[in-house]
Structure 1
Amino acid sequence: MTANLSNLLDKPPPPRGDGQRVLVVADDPGDSELLRTTLQLAGYRVGTAGTGAQGLDRLTGHGFDLAVWDAVLLSHLTRLPRAASRPAGPPVLFLTTCDSLHRLVPELGAGEQDYVTKPLRIAEVLARVDVLLRRRRPDGHTGPLRYGDLVLDDATCRARRGSRPLDLTPAEYRLLRHLLGNAGCVLSKEQIGRHVWGEFRAGEAIEKLVSRLRRKVDRDPGEPALIHTRRGFGYWLGGAA
């Protein structure tokens, strides 16, 4: 009981917005209302659109900082990534089902884009929105990224755990950076492969990469493990499992 209470108290609060403008484009009124209410409560200013055409129209010249786009509206996605890839265009968080993911992945380029799967998990949506918007801030972040005794410095691409430096390869650093930026959220192998290499990689390649990273990050027996596996779903970074 005490351990469970401690874990809850140690869990970081969900990220909050600072008045950024988010456009929700979804054809399901229930999803649209859920996202609108949740994002508003989290500190964002939210606009909505019920079709892809309306979404594209609202994005033009309306100053949105991010678009949450339902992948059901796939007929408009061939135009959206090109607009989003321009410096002035907003990053895009796609909503998709697991069985439709293979249709969406070719649309995801190297720009500021990510996805979450349905049924929606609000904590995951808020975390991905926060990560995408953080990349858009002029300074990227206000200093080294931290999770407990784990520290990453994007300026030097170096990481340490406590006083122990972590000798990471570029791929290992990108993976650890992605896990830390989405702390508490399970990342699928597809998401990890696309983020680390910019393309799909076989599950075995990702398993080997995670295993190498885990040996470096969670090396000392006296340290609580930070990198965890949720079998059948993916990997996540957080406190004791």
Structure 2
Amino acid sequence: MNTENPVRLLVVDDEPHIADLVATVARYEGWQAVTAGSGEAALAKAAEFVPDIVVLDLMLPGIDGFTVLDKLREAGTAVPVVFLTAKDATADRVAGLTRGGDDYLVKPFSVEELMARLRAVLRRSTNQAKAAVLRVGDLTLNEDTREVARDGKPADLTPTEYELLRYLMRHSPSVMTKAQILDHVWEYDFGGRSNVVELVISHLRRKLDTGDEPLIHTVRGVGYVVRQAAR
């Protein structure tokens, strides 16, 4: 527990008992936690409280959770967001991650699992190694500043995209399996839904490989690797 710089958590849910439960457990761990019951209230609280991480329901009165996330990103904040919702369709999960969310948990849920996921997302978004720049071809990743660039052009990555890319670049030119990626990037059991790896890989390719020599490769039946193609 860090009492000098506690984690600042914003819990957004229109069911007060759920929001209060999550906030209470977070406070017990030494975090600062505030709640909001609507999309509009969430945006106001985010501007005022400046959270380190957000738990966000999808189905909210007024603007929904997806719109809240869009507006947060439009405002320039990269705060990690974990969706907590009753919507359990695969399309909703994919949409949540595609829109820039960092994790997705379905109700009913275990508070212990939610807190474990929040801690994992925070580790991914704040863990920094001492000044080190990883390079593969013209792709660079600065572990000190968390800046990523391709041919000198900055790339805006979510915390999860950054952590997956860093993991692959650290092990380049070795091929990493989906199981290894899930274990080292997500740091908890993702229930076998390894398609989340494919989803984040596709996001990285759109941001880093478009119009350039591909550096992110799929090795069929094995996994993924970041490396230059053999000449």
- Please give the per-residue CA displacement for 1:90-130, whole angstroms capped at 9, x wherever unaligned: 21110123544524532433635221111112232122212
Q: Which residue of 2 aligns with 1:63?
A: 50
Match of 1:29 among 16, 19, 32: 16
Report if aligned partners of 1:84, 1:111 keep a CA contact under 8 Å in 2: no
- Please give the per-residue CA displacement for 1:171-194, whole angstroms capped at 9, x wherever unaligned: x3x762432243343343453433
- Please give the per-residue CA displacement for 1:127-162, whole angstroms capped at 9, x wherever unaligned: 22123222332x53579xxxxxxxx99478345xxx
Q: Which residue of 2 aligns with 1:221?
A: none
Distance 1:113 1:83 in 2: 16
Q: Which residue identity does 2:8 align to in structure 1?
A: R
Q: How does 1:125-204 map to 2 (within 5 A)?
A: 125-137=114-126, 140=128, 154=166, 157-159=169-171, 167-169=174-176, 172=177, 176-187=180-191, 188-198=193-203
Relative to structure 1, is the Cα distance of residues 20 and 47 closer, same or farther in structure 2, using a 3 angstrom cutoff?
same
SS of 1:55's equivalent?
helix
Report if aligned partners of 1:124, 1:185 keep a CA contact under 8 Å in 2: no
Report if aligned partners of 1:81, 1:109 keep a CA contact under 8 Å in 2: no
Relative to structure 1, is the Cα distance of residues 96 and 211 closer, same or farther in structure 2, using a 3 angstrom cutoff?
farther
Cα shift at 1:41:
1.8
SS of 1:79's equivalent?
helix
SS of 2:59's equivalent?
helix
Distance 1:116 1:209 in 2: 30
Q: Which runs of 5+ in 2 are unaligned?
A: 132-163, 205-217, 224-231
Q: What RMSD in Å do the two structures reach over aligned CA positions?
A: 3.8
Q: Which residue identity does 1:157 align to in structure 2?
A: M
Indicate the percent of aligned positions where both proteins have the same amino acid.
23
Q: Which residue of 2 aligns with 1:77?
A: 65
SS of 1:71's equivalent?
coil
Q: TM-score w.r.t. structure 1 length?
A: 0.56
Report if aligned partners of 1:81, 1:107 keep a CA contact under 8 Å in 2: no
Q: Which runs of 5+ in 1 are unaligned?
A: 1-15, 144-151, 160-164, 200-207, 214-241
Q: TM-score w.r.t. structure 2 length?
A: 0.58
